[in-house]
Structure 1
Amino acid sequence: MRRVIISWMVAGLCLLVLIDCTAPATLCDDQIACSPGFVCQSGFCVAIQEEPSSEPAPEPTKPEPIKSEPQPEPTKPEPRPEPSVEPVVEPIAEKKDEPTRDVRDAGEPGKPDFSEAVVDTFTESAQESTPDTSTEPLPEKATESVPEQVAEKTPDVAPLPQLPTWSDNPCQVLNGVSPGYGGVVSKWQAQDKLAPARKDSLLVIGSSSIRLWRTLQKELAAWPIIHRGFGGSRLLDVAAHAEKIVLPYKPKAILIYAGTNDIAAGKSPTVVYDVYRCLIEKVKKGIGDIPIMFIGVTPNPARWAKWSDSVKLNGAVRQLSAAWSGLTYIDIPATFLKMGQPPSASLFVSDRLHLNVVGYTVWNMVIKPVVQAVVSTTPYTVPSSQPASKSQVLIDFGPGDTDDGNPTKSPDSYNRYWNNWHKVNGGAGLLPGETLALHTTTNQKTPWRVTLAGAMTTNGIKNGGLLAPKTSLLGKYAIATATQDFFYAGAAGSGLVVTGLDPSKTYTLTLFGSRDWGSETRVTRYEVSGAKTTSASLTTSGKGIGANGTYSGNEKSLAVVKSVKPDQWGKLHIELVTEKGSFSYLSLLSLEVD
């Protein structure tokens, strides 16, 4: 029923914004295929779009583009066509009788002209002051010539992506700034040491819209993903921590959504744009010329009062991206603004700031084709050292602080080795992108990893974990340290992805979750997606559901999903769906090669 309602909502949105999704209300899954010319996305069929529309929508109130000087070939990379139209906003009045700004090198495009009347709205700190654009030109970027061998390539060979360099020092905007989220960054660094990321990955980084993008791993499954979203973060935080959570990964490309929290905190578009220039400079110096895709700051009802500042930031990034082949601006705002100004509240959760499932469906429709066009894919090579048939991996999900949970000791009473999640305290939040490298029950290292695809929280002993499991009910899964604690998610659910598998093999998953809670019946559905999608459900909580009729947690049932094949990239996606009640649970997981 939930999928049908979402289908109807998205169907209406498609008509409103003219997205090419001729049959969005047609449901699809592993049993129901889409018609030719359509693809299954988030449970319904949408039309495959090969090329962006060549007929842009009318722009009656489109702002004047920021002018720039032409750059002689081959020093200016060939601009790419824009896939979407500009957002519909009121035009910005140009200053009268103002002399033309000097460009430090006549052969390069000038920097965006942030009008003083619009941009310099907030007072900046001494270290982050906004330049007085009425008396002095903003720093321009230095000329960077495209290598001669690139310029001489035949037209059917795409040029290497190019990132700009600057004649000023954009990173001085970070002077005296103390970035936040040091604890989160340190956690990721510690996990990176235990399970280093693949060097050819797509790094997806930014604020809460990235953190809450639960379908990211599934939507962009064709690439190895490094998911680094931390809620409330600013573009400033991303740039300041780049040496820790950007440059060490040596990613193939970067997809970023950030800047909205900077604007909300009172930073002017000029300052935020300079922070973006700083990030680009760090990437160019620390990694090289790789694609950077900037998702335009998305309009929302909660922050509509400051939308004009976001328009200026988006416009500056768009102009910069048009001049440099390594930069891409993803025009999410154009689509959202067709749904109202501010956009319809139906795209957001109750805070009118963060996207709901329908909002993320629109995100996916716009972002995925751009990523496909910009970032090449590499055929998946099955990692060596694949475990043999009947090999098993056991994972204990929960805290390890002894108050709310304990790690499972290895070997256990059945001589099996367990994988315990990184040590966290009870009640601690877990971020998407946290990863655990896996070994088998015989302690054999594997190329497999399990990564959180959505946010979860830990709990256990003090809050309803199954403390005394019975072998007569759960068999060899009756290990107290594994059943006494758990990960849980709210009504929106969460998920995991297991990577490094062999697509030619099948696997059986066994899952267990429980919380002693008699005030509400709670059911978790575990949806496992690979080559196909299948699922199994558990009633984890409810009055008297235990074996003796008095215990109010699950103590006797396991969810088993048999003989599933990974997708073509060796991944199994496991969604925790809150099917009934307020929460979904996961205490342990077994993955066995058939």
Structure 2
Amino acid sequence: MRTANIACARSIAIKRPIRLGAASALLLACAVSVGVGAAMAAPPMPAQPVVPLNADPVFPFSNEIDAFARANAAGPPVRDATLFLGSSSIRLWDIAGSFHDIGTVNRGFGGATTAHVLHYYKRLLPAVPPRSVVVYVGENDLAAGATPDAVTRDIVTLLKKLRADYPRAPIAFLSLKPSPIRWTLRPKMAQVNAAVASRAKADGFVYLDVGTVLLARDGLPDASLFRPDGLHMNARGYQRWTGLVDDWLDHVAPPRPAAEKAS
């Protein structure tokens, strides 16, 4: 290409002065000539394989969902277990270590909205029916821009599905928690919490307020209970949740000697 450019420049220099229009035409001809030569010299691009699009609109969660299926098939099912279902607040909770005297199944996956949980619902269920169920979802929905009414509808839909599938299991919905980084969402969270709580008795579940224990004396989220990201709780924060949920479980589903602990 450099040789072609020099040749074109020399061709212009050795001729008598020409009008601007002719010079422009000559430069254009040189550029076209260079482009054609480069195109002819370049090796043909190899054919690119056609990659089929993934039909699953929430593909990023597939690995986690597959892991749940592998856990179901890995060994004997955990009987008389409490199912913990929801987003990263469930996933990051050391469920087995926090509830030593009962069997547990953790089905939390990070970043999940209620719509994601509903999408994967059947694949999230344990191999055998749980003795009780604890649910935390909805916070990510609001953070993604969903309205409180839409979030409430999805949460109630999920809780109704769980009630229909497990008619005898006590079910608890954990209130949307306050956190430093999402404090501006607090009014919308309060709206969802109030709406869900109002449906608890009619729809057969219990509403547990797990947000108040995360507030400092000034009414703001206690930063000492959260990780540096200001969103997820640390061990001290989870201790607060464990105490509340453990008290509820002791009341509605006291541990049985034969209960197996989740691995």
Question: Please, what TM-score do these two structures have when normalized by structure 1?
Answer: 0.33
Say if 2:207 is the partner of 1:329. Answer: yes
Structure 2 residues not aligned, in runs of 5+ = 1-55
Query: Residues 283, 248 of structure 1: CA spacing in aligned structure 2 closer, same or farther, 3 A cutoff?
Result: farther
* Paired residues of 2:81 and 2:259 also in contact (CA < 8 A): no
Deviation at 1:304, TM superposition (A): 0.7
Cross-structure match for 1:366: 244
Tell me which residue corresponds to 1:356: 234
Q: Does 1:272 align with 2:146?
A: no
Q: 1:373 to 1:334 in 2, by over 3 A?
A: same
Return the match for 2:77 from 164, 179, 197: 197
- For the Cα contact (< 8 Å) 1:206–1:230, is it kept in 2? yes
Partners of 1:347 and 1:294 in 2: how far apart?
A: 21
Contact 1:242 1:282 in 2 (8 A): no
| Aligned match of 1:207 | 87
Q: Deviations over 1:22-43 (max 9, x none)?
A: xxxxxxxxxxxxxxxxxxxxxx
- Which residue of the partner structure matches residue 117 of structure 2? 238
Do the aligned residues in 2 keep the contact of 1:273 with 1:313 (CA within 8 Å)? Answer: yes
Question: What are the within-5 Å matches in structure 2 for residues 100-115 of structure 1?
Answer: none
Q: Which residue does the alignment assign to 1:104?
A: none
Q: Is the 8 A contact 1:247 1:286 kept in 2?
A: no
The letter of the residue matching 1:347 is L
**Alignment partners' CA distance in 1, 2:180 and 2:221:** 7
Deviations 1:163-217 (A, max 9, x none): xxxxxxxxxxxxxx94451221112112312324234211012211112112x21
Code of the aligned partner of 2:89: S
Matches within 5 A, 1:26-175: none
**How far off is 1:364 after superposition?**
2.0
Letter in 2 for 1:310: M
Is 1:311–2:183 an aligned residue pair?
no
Contact preservation (8 Å) 1:247, 1:283: no
Offset from partner CA, 1:364-388 (integer Å, 9 cap, x none): 2222212221223222279xxxxxx
Q: Which residue of 1 aligns with 2:24?
A: none
CA distance, structure 2, for counterparts of residue 327 and residue 299 of structure 1: 22
Residue identity matched to 1:303: R
Q: CA deviation at 1:341?
A: 3.5
CA contact (8 A) 1:179 1:236 kept: no
AA at the equivalent of 1:193: A
Q: Kindly name which structure, 1 or 2, has the bigger radius of gyration based on alpha carbons.
A: 2
Tell me if the contact between 1:209 and 1:229 (Cα under 8 Å) persists in the aligned partners. yes
Greater helix fraction, Structure 1 or Structure 2: 2
1:295 to 149, 174, 199: 174
1:217 is matched with which residue?
96
Which letter maps to 1:313? V
Aligned counterparts, 1:443-482, within 5 A: 451=263
Contact map agreement 2:105 2:262 (CA 8 A) in 1: no
Distance 1:247 1:273, change over 3 A: farther
Instruction: Report the Cα distance in structure 2 between the residues aligned to 1:305 and 1:374, rounded to whole angstroms.
Output: 35
After superposition, what is the alpha-carbon deviation per residue over 1:248-277, rounded to whole angstroms, capped at 9, x for unaligned?
A: 541111111111111100111211111122
Number of aligned pairs? 208
Is 1:183 matched with 2:59? no
Contact 1:179 1:241 in 2 (8 A): no
Alpha-carbon distance in structure 1 between the residues aligned to 2:97 and 2:155? 28
**Which of the residues 177, 183, 199 maps onto 1:320?**
199
Is contact 2:81–2:105 with CA below 8 Å preserved after alignment? yes
SS of residue paired to 1:293: strand
Per-residue displacement from partner, 1:513-551 (whole Å, max 9, x unpaired)? Answer: xxxxxxxxxxxxxxxxxxxxxxxxxxxxxxxxxxxxxxx
Aligned to 1:332, what secondary structure does the other structure show? coil
Contact residue 84 and residue 133 of structure 2 kept, 8 A? yes
Distance 1:194 1:361 in 2: 30
Offset at 1:340?
Answer: 3.5
SS class of match (1:355): coil
- In structure 2, do the counterparts of structure 1 residues 206 and 450 end up closer, same or farther at CA, with 3 Å as the change threshold? closer
Q: Quote the Cα distance in structure 1 between the aligned partners of 2:262 and 2:253.
A: 24
What per-residue deviation string (whole Å, max 9, x for no partner) do you get for residues 552-577 of structure 1?
xxxxxxxxxxxxxxxxxxxxxxxxxx
Q: 1:208 touches 1:233 (CA, 8 Å); kept in 2?
A: yes
State the AA in 2 paired with 1:206: G
Displacement of 1:338 in angstroms is 4.9
> Contact between 1:239 and 1:276, CA under 8 Å: does it hold in 2?
no
The residue type paired with residue 352 of structure 1 is: G
Question: Match for 2:162 among 278, 283, 298?
Answer: 283
Two-structure CA RMSD over aligned residues (Å): 2.5
SS at match of 2:85: strand
Which protein, 1 or 2, shows the higher relative CO under an 8 Å CA cutoff with sep ≥ 6? 2
Deviation at 1:237, TM superposition (A): 1.5
Alignment of 1:432-451 (within 5 A): 451=263
**CA contact 2:226–2:233 (8 Å) conserved in 1:** yes
1:250 and 1:287 in contact (8 A); partners too: yes
Give the match for residue 345 of structure 1.
223
Q: Where does the alignment leave 5 or more consecutive residues of structure 1 unmatched? A: 1-176, 383-448, 452-594
The residue type equivalent to 1:270 in the other structure is D
More strand by share: 1
Which amino acid in 2 is paired with 1:226? V
Contact 2:104 2:262 in 1 (8 A): no
